[in-house]
Structure 1
Amino acid sequence: MVAFVLVYIVLAYSTVEYLQQSYLRDAEAERSRGLSQQLALIRANIEAEVNAEVFLADSLATLISFSPESTFEQWEQVAMQLTRKAEHIRNIGVAPNDVMAFVYPLQGNERVIGLDFRDYPNQWQTVQQARQAQHIIISGPLELVQGGTAIIARVPIFSDAPHNSQYWGTCSIVLDIDGLFRDAGVYDLPDNVSLAIRGRDGTGADGEVFFGEPGVFQDPLLSETVHLVSGSWQMGLSLKASSAAVPVSNWVKDNLPRVAGYTVALSLLLSFILVLNAYRLAHQISMQDVLTKLPNRRHAMLILEQLSQQGTASRFSIINIDLNRFKQVNDTYGHAVGDALLVEVARRMRHTLRGSDTVARLGGDEFLLILPRVCTREQQDRVKAKLLGEVCGQPFDYQGVHLDISLSLGVACFPEHGNAISELLHHADQAMYQDKQQRKLSAVQA
């Protein structure tokens, strides 16, 4: 009898030890998955908010580019509408010849008027970068002359677009970084987690840490790359030392049967909560296509909605792209070759575009280009020619498979071909279908 009791106690103790260790392992795995999803959601939210609001505010630069003689009153009307639509735009400034002459709202920003960027090396560098690159450059986070910390999008303005040889000045969009991070969920992470962000001025993993502790990047548990209009940031996440697993306490050892039941119940409860939380986050996470790493349909629709809400103040074009004979590639060579072809086409298209353009994968072999400030037939033809040259100019080689790449393109311009996004997409889709039929006919005749 005594031996039986001893065996029972040993088995009970071993069971509790096993359950405790099993629980700790399962909880750690669930916690890592939950944190990974939460960090990915934060990354997607930051990308969507920054890129959408920068593209939204880009319409003021477009107005000045095509109407250099426009007045402060006209600028103010556009800036007023933009700040109403964008939650994180703190102010918008215009600097002819890189000397700040206009800022909206003026109240609280009076000190900015007359500021010559040449007198502020940390800002002058990014102003020059934007001018040389001829596209938007993200600057900061940095301390503002009027007080506070923000990130700034530098938009170069040329009075002879699209040739861009006559530099007019710059437009600066100042975004409230604290509000941006709050709405993106940066401050909603658990207390036992440390988050840091580096890459000031869009310099990515090589850049300076501007949020959190630099020690996070010595051995991060998780990391994500935030892709901006220009450059990137890197986010790192680690667990605080106090969150390390705690060994089974003496109290547990003294209450083996009770602890065994509580451990099982608690393990099931926590697993259920973590699964529910993971399911909730899975419906919110990621506006990125898994295969090509391009923006997906949801991300593209968000950008189109932001652009179209500006009305006729901002004209833009879209190009609907279909990869010809893609089904034949899948059927003949297998899905591995088809996936590799999609990734390569996405890479070539991304390499072709300006920093302010967007290429998204809508699904299957269908892509969509969003081209702000491209609105004339001449500009559209130039983009199409460059795209076809870069993407289709060289064959695709993969594990002994040699394929020629062919695209069908359909163009639509806002608002000429529709004020609603659905109308715009329908027009581009019809134009793409006509282009595909014409290519088939030409192939048959050849």
Structure 2
Amino acid sequence: MKKQQYIVSIIIFIVYMLAVIQATDIIVGLLKEREQTKQNERLREVVSLAKSKLEAELFRDVFLADSLATVITIDPQIAIENWTSLGKKLMGKSTHVRNVGIAPNDVILLNYPPKGNEKAIGLDFRTVPKQYRTVLKARQLQDVFLSGPLELVQGGMAVIARFPVFNDYPQNKDYWGSISVVIDYQSLMRVSGFSALSNAPIAIRGVDAEGDNGEVFFGDKQIFQNADFTTSINIPNGEWIVGAQFDRGVPLNLSRQLLALRIGLISLGLLIFAAVFALWRSYRVVRRFAHEDELTGLYNRRYTMNHLNQLTAGSYKRQSFAVLNIDLNGFKAVNDIYGHEAGDQLLKLVANEILNGVRMTDVVARVGGDEFIVIMHRVKHEDSAQRLADCLRQKIEHRVLHWGTATIQPSLSIGVAVFNASEHTVKDVLIRADEAMYRDKAQQRTS
């Protein structure tokens, strides 16, 4: 029974710790998931804020350039004559405009500021197919068209706003030429906040305002293959698309905190188990005085009688069991010759050997000074019980106790009785086992 209790205790501990570890995993997982959700929401907020700033910055400069286009539409000649003043005013009010040029009949006539843009004067857009395509697009839309971002010949990247100018506004049949406003791409991305996100899993596509069909110009294009969310940046007569992936990783600081939490929760679980186990052990210590023999640790007479009464009552009544009454021969002589300490050690030896020689489900008790009882459950025939008793006797009598220079060999007398609910009571089976034990003792004396 003690072996069984020991194994059950180990199983309970293992199951309990598995439950603690599983609960810890769930708690840590929930906290990790919550933190990742916060990170993802922060990323959404950062992207949304940068998107809003970029739209505001871009539309402000485009609006200023649109005012210039309106002036030129009203009177192109006066605009040309006052070009330096107009260009200077536009550059003074804008934030990201690098230069602006006008191209009557799609041939660049003037640029502001002129310094650094001298080579562009006289450029016929029709000889540069890539640029001319965007000029034609603006003319077809009869409205501003945003091309790029693209690399400039003079260095750097820019977004170019193309404005068509017509002599017969609003009919827009008589095409005069175009205005090109070069907007600094790096400045635009820096002020909007996207430059600060260059290392984040964010990308932007939509060169020449083509949205999903446009090329990627910011970040890694692979992001769009598994983007967790996308949003559009509204630009004049088109859009750019922002794609972002959530960071599945956990910050190092949080990872350390979660590890500390995991260790803390498991430690708490161990402390709780230790506290409960300590209470259980206290209970066992108290119970031991009532149900266990102090010397051998076996059950005592009180527990044995209670257990036998339970076996013969209620749902147990139909079960059969055998009782072995075991007496240690010559025990008084051992006490007299070698002393009570030697006698105690012999009792412990016999008790352990009996306990190790029976099944885990059997009950072993010390019910007197040198008398033991074994209750063997589910044994129906006396022959079977006798064979078990003979095996137990042979096993124990082959063991010896070394005491100083002396060798003490135990000798047993065993009586066997099988309980049958239709024929016997507990008292009857105990009497029969006791009688059988004395017969065995007498037989050993005469043999």
Partner of residue 366, structure 1: none
Which letter maps to 1:187?
S
CA distance in 2, matches of 1:259, 1:177: 56
Q: Give the secondary-structure state (helix, strand or coil) at the position aligned to 2:149.
A: strand
Partners of 2:59 and 2:235 within 8 A in 1: yes
Pair 1:181–1:243, CA change in 2 (3 A): farther
**Matching of residue 115 in structure 1 with residue 123 in structure 2:** yes
Give the alignment of 1:93-112 within 5 angstroms: 93-112=101-120
Is residue 49 of structure 1 aligned with residue 57 of structure 2? yes
Contact 2:40 2:247 survives alignment (8 Å): no
Post-superposition offset of 1:219: 0.9
Q: Tell me what 1:65 maps to.
A: 73
Q: CA deviation at 1:256?
A: 3.0
Q: Which residue of 2 aligns with 1:151?
A: 159
Aligned to 1:84: 92
1:296-311 equivalent positions in 2, closer than 5 A: none
Contact residue 40 and residue 246 of structure 2 kept, 8 A = no
- Find 1:230's aligned residue among 225, 237, 257: 237
The one of the two structures with greater contact order (alpha-carbon pairs below 8 A, sep at least 6) is 1
Which residue is equivalent to 1:267? none
SS of corresponding position for 1:100: coil
Find out whether 1:31 has 2:46 as its counterpart.
no
Query: For the Cα contact (< 8 Å) 1:61–1:155, is it kept in 2?
Result: yes
Provide the C-alpha distance between the structure 2 equivalents of 1:258 and 1:129, rounded to a whole number of angstroms: 67
Contact 1:92–1:171 (CA<8 Å) still a contact in 2?
A: yes
TM-score, with structure 2 as normaliser: 0.53
Measured after TM superposition, the shift of residue 255 of structure 1 is: 3.4
- Find the partner of 2:211 among 170, 183, 204: 204
Once residues 221 and 250 of structure 1 are traced to their aligned partners in structure 2, the CA distance between those partners, rounded to angstroms, is: 25
RMSD: 3.2
How far did 1:190 drift?
8.3
Partners of 1:259 and 1:212 lie apart in 2 by 45
1:187 Cα deviation after fit: 2.4
**Which letter maps to 2:40?**
S
Query: AA paired with 1:97?
Result: N
Q: Is the 8 A contact 1:13 1:253 kept in 2?
A: no
What pairs with 1:180-191 in structure 2 (closer than 5 Å)?
A: 180-189=188-197, 191=199
Structure 2 counterpart SS, 1:255: helix
Give per-residue Cα distances to partners, 1:131-155, cap 9 Å, x unaligned.
1221111111112232221110100
Structure-2 change in CA distance of 1:35 and 1:106 (3 Å): same
DSSP-derived class of the 2:39 partner: helix
What's the CA shift string for 1:105-158, capped at 9, x where partnerless? 112222211111111111100101111221111111112232221110100011
129, 133, 138: which one pairs with 1:130? 138
Q: In the alignment, is the contact (CA less than 8 A) between 2:24 and 2:266 conserved in 1?
A: no
> Which residue number in structure 1 is paired with residue 383 of structure 2?
none
Structure 1 residues 250 and 203, CA gap change in structure 2 (3 angstroms): closer
Of residues 209, 212, 217, the one that matches 2:224 is 217
Larger Rg, first or second structure (1 or 2): 2
Normalised TM-score (structure 1): 0.53
Instruction: State how far apart, in whole Å, the 2-side matches of 1:124 and 1:150 are.
Output: 16
Determine the C-alpha separation between the residues in 1 that align with 2:236 and 2:50.
Answer: 17
Identify the residue that residue 176 of structure 1 maps to in structure 2: 184
**1: CA distance, partners of 2:46 / 2:195:** 11
Change over 3 Å in CA distance of 1:253–1:204 after alignment to 2: closer
Equivalent residues in 2 for 1:37-436 (5 A)? 37-70=45-78, 72-189=80-197, 191=199, 193-239=200-246, 255-257=263-265
User: Offset of 1:247 from its aligned partner?
Assistant: 8.6
Helix, strand or coil for the counterpart of 1:99? coil
Which residue type is aligned with residue 19 of structure 1?
I
Q: Which amino acid aligns with 1:66?
A: I
What letter is aligned with 1:233?
W
Q: Percent identity?
A: 37
3-state SS of 2:153 partner: coil
| In 2: Cα distance, 1:63 partner to 1:9 partner | 80
Amino acid at match of 2:120: V
Shift of 1:13: 3.7
Instruction: Rate the CA distance shift 1:52–1:241 in 2: closer, same or farther, 3 A.
Output: same
- Checking the alignment, whether the CA contact within 8 Å between 1:111 and 1:146 is kept in structure 2 is no
1:184-204 Cα offsets, whole Å, 9 max, x none, are 11123384x311111110001
CA distance in 1, matches of 2:172, 2:40: 49
Whether the aligned pair in 2 keeps the contact of 1:91 and 1:104 (CA below 8 Å) is yes
Distance 2:140 2:102 in 1: 18
The counterpart of 1:21, out of the listed 12, 29, 33, is: 29
**Corresponding letter in the other structure for 1:235:** V
The runs of 5 or more residues in structure 1 that have no matched partner are 261-446
Query: What SS does structure 2 have at the residue aligned with 1:69?
Result: helix
Unaligned runs of 5+ in 2: 1-5, 269-447
Residues 242 and 157 of structure 1: CA distance in aligned 2, closer, same or farther (over 3 Å): same
CA displacement at 1:94 relative to structure 2? 0.6
CA distance in 2, matches of 1:253, 1:39: 32
In structure 2, C-alpha distance between the alignment counterparts of 1:158 and 1:129, rounded to whole Å? 14
Displacement of 1:17 in angstroms is 2.0
